[in-house]
Chains A and B, each alone.
Chain A
Amino acid sequence: MDEIKLTCIIDDDPIYLFAIKKLLEITNFSTNYIIFKNGLEAINEFKKLAEEDQPLPDVVLLDLNMPIMDGWQFLKQYKINKFNTGISIYITSSSIDKKDVSKAKKNKLVSGYISKPIKKEDLSTLKTSILKKKSS
């Protein structure tokens, strides 16, 4: 497989969303993307997709600080609902707090930590490593 079909972005910051959409387009990152404003919206949609036997996104770019359900709570719910563990979940946060970074590293669901601002090169590297993982 040489393509990422669906990317899921979970973030509440409209400016970041504007920018990441642009970046996804510029880098030709994936065929499609869906956006959720917080963890809960994403979990609900994932549940629905699972019930309808629809495929879940291939990649999740997850922010940490969000209202209603934050990134950590999302990961907890993700585990409780036993969603596909083959999905690559990346934390995308502007936090440079070492605690957040090491906490993310310890979580088995998390594939990596990308510190904002996200650059074009970050997405290209990411795409390569995801596709490599998929084909192996």
Chain B
Amino acid sequence: MLLNKNEVNDFLETLEKSLIIGSWSFDIEANTLSWSNVTKRIHEVSPSFVPDVTKGLNFYKEGLHRNRITELFNNAINKGESFDDEFIIVTAKGNEKWVRSVGFPKHKDGKCISVQGVFQDTTEKTLIAIQTALKEKQFRSIFQNSLTGMALVSLEGDWLEVNHALCNMLGYTDEEFFNISFKDLTHPKDKYIGDEEIPLMLAGKLDHFQAEKRFIHKKGKTVYCILSCTIVKNYNNKPLHFIFNISDITKIKLGKKKIKSLLDISSKQNERLLNFAHIVSHNLRSHVSNLEMLVQLKKEEVPKVVNDEYYPLFETAIGNLNETIINLNQVVINKINKSDLKSLNLFNSVEKAIGNLNALILADNVKVNISINKNIKVKALPAYLDSILNNLLTNAIKYKKQNIIPEINIKAIKDKKFIIVSVNDNGLGIDLKKNKHNLFGMYKVFHKHKNSRGLGLFITKIQLEAIGGKVEVESKIGKGSTFKIYLKNG
């Protein structure tokens, strides 16, 4: 097909536009530079713009780019060397663009007469390339410095690249990795993990999956991991390779195992304790109650028996044994359900507890001051609240100071979570430095010592804890004590 000149120009023009490739030529003898329309458009100058060499070179960005093109252009003219390189220009409108500039010197009789060239806008391409390079650099940096193990794995399951963290995790150098397949490092029991997902990923039906998987360290130990697997595809959606993210969760796993075994042990112990309580409550008590019945019957049948010096001792010993068993049974408190807790009026409960101790209060001439709002309600088990108040009030009276009138102040305040009841006395006080650890412990529990605080406070504490409360104490020797009990707001 033959084309006339106009047609050729039109064709070239179309081609130039579609590729954004312009052309230029420089006639050395006439010292004239001409630019095609596309070249002008790349420079963002008007179609009537008349270029010359100085103007042309000045479009190149000052410094590196302008120096380089000047050198290349001079070499083309003086040495006949062609050039092809990329530069930044600053257009007439002040925009920076990446361009590819190519120049071919033309010779006649061994002398350079002109330079012709093409001029291409490569901004978009270059920027993409720069961005890609940046992303690649970022990925490299993430890959190498990541704290989790990372690897590129081929579609066949061979290691392509592994990072430091993975090397450390499994004990191999990266060179050693390439001689072992992914499956070789997998714990035998976890070999089939992923067998379902990998084919789906290859078929394009799944992009990603996560699984818990064990690997074998070079030294033979098991490494518990979470594996996250992603497939990487090319622009045609063709799978290229996998990216594996592998986190070592061995410490967490072993910690969990330890916690579980401790939990097993303590629940077994708890079970045994409940069994023990059951035995105490049923078997031991039935023997004691038999003894009590026998002792009473004997007295009934043979009233004279009380004159026997052994008999009252039997009676007392059996009575003590029974009391000990009842105490022992209280120590093991059955689990309380929330539904067992009742909303109780605190003031009434305190009044009742004081009423029960009336004999003691009158005998010791105790002054009791109550400052409790009559509307305050607490959540508690009635039997426990009675027992707790009874214990605290009994202690306050029992450990009074000689020569002064015993005084007990009972107050209640509300805070965000609790009703705080404080029972304050002006009694002997407790050396908290010495006794803080023993005060609520089972210390001296089964000794019938006159001054023992042991069991009462111990039971108070466990009863309070069972109903979601707690107890605190402040005390000074010779000044008195304040017990604060925290009860759930009812």
Contact = CB atoms under 8 A, between A and B. Distances in A.
B286 A96 contact: no
B282 A120 contact: no
A95 B297 contact: no
A95 to B, nearest CB: 5
Residue in A15, A16, A65, A117 with the greatest tally of chain B CB atoms within 10 Å: A117
Nearest to A97: B281
A48 B149 CA distance: 81
B334 interface: yes
Given A19-B293, A116-B289, A99 B334 contact: yes
B287 to A, nearest CB: 8
Interface in B321-355: 326, 329, 334
Contacts of A116: 285-286, 289-290, 293
Given A22-B301, A26-B300, A120-B300, A95 B293 contact: no
Interface string A104-127: 000000000000111110000000
A98 B326 CA distance: 13
B334 A118 contact: no
Given A13-B290, A99-B334, A22 B297 contact: yes
A117 B334 contact: no
A94 interface: yes
B282 A95 contact: yes
B292 interface: yes
Contact of B281 (A13, A22, A96, A118): A96
Contacts of B285: 94-96, 116
Interface of B is mostly: helix
A4 interface: no
B289 A117 contact: yes
Nearest to B383: A98
A74 B297 CA distance: 29
Contacts of B296: 117, 119-120
Nearest to B292: A117
Contact of B286 (A94, A97, A120): A94
A35 interface: no
A23 interface: yes
Contacts of A118: 293
A16 B294 CA distance: 9
A94 B334 contact: no
B268 interface: no
A116 B281 CA distance: 12
A106 B443 CA distance: 39
Interface in A3-37: 13, 15-16, 19-20, 22-23, 26
A15 B294 contact: yes
A26 B293 CA distance: 13
Contacts of A117: 288-290, 292-293, 296
A119 B285 CA distance: 15
Nearest to B300: A26
Contacts of A19: 290, 293-294, 297
Given A116-B286, A116-B289, A96 B297 contact: no
Contacts of A119: 293, 296
Contact of B326 (A16, A22, A26, A96): A96
B300 A94 contact: no
B137 interface: no
Interface string B275-311: 0001001100110111011101100110000000000
A99 B292 CA distance: 24
Contacts of B292: 117
Nearest to A27: B300
Nearest to B285: A94
B289 to A, nearest CB: 4
A23 B281 contact: no
A14 to B, nearest CB: 9
Interface in A49-103: 65, 94-99
B289 A94 contact: yes
B297 A23 contact: yes
Contact of A95 (B281, B300, B301): B281
A92 to B, nearest CB: 10
A63 to B, nearest CB: 9
A88 to B, nearest CB: 21
B289 A98 contact: no
A78 to B, nearest CB: 22
A98 B334 contact: yes
A66 to B, nearest CB: 11
Nearest to B290: A15
Given A19-B290, A117-B289, A96 B300 contact: no
Contacts of B293: 16, 19-20, 23, 116-119
Nearest to A26: B300
A97 B301 contact: no
Contacts of B297: 19, 22-23, 26
A94 B329 CA distance: 13
Among all A-B residue pairs, the 8 with the closest Cβ atoms: A94-B286, A117-B289, A116-B289, A117-B292, A19-B293, A94-B285, A15-B290, A117-B293
Given A22-B297, A94-B282, 4 more contacts: A94-B285, A116-B285, A117-B288, A117-B292
29 contacts: A13-B286, A13-B290, A15-B290, A16-B286, A16-B289, A22-B297, A22-B301, A26-B297, A65-B286, A94-B282, A94-B285, A94-B286, A94-B289, A95-B282, A96-B285, A97-B278, A97-B281, A98-B334, A99-B334, A116-B285, A116-B286, A116-B289, A116-B290, A117-B288, A117-B289, A117-B292, A119-B293, A119-B296, A120-B296
Interface of B: 278, 281-282, 285-286, 288-290, 292-294, 296-297, 300-301, 326, 329, 334
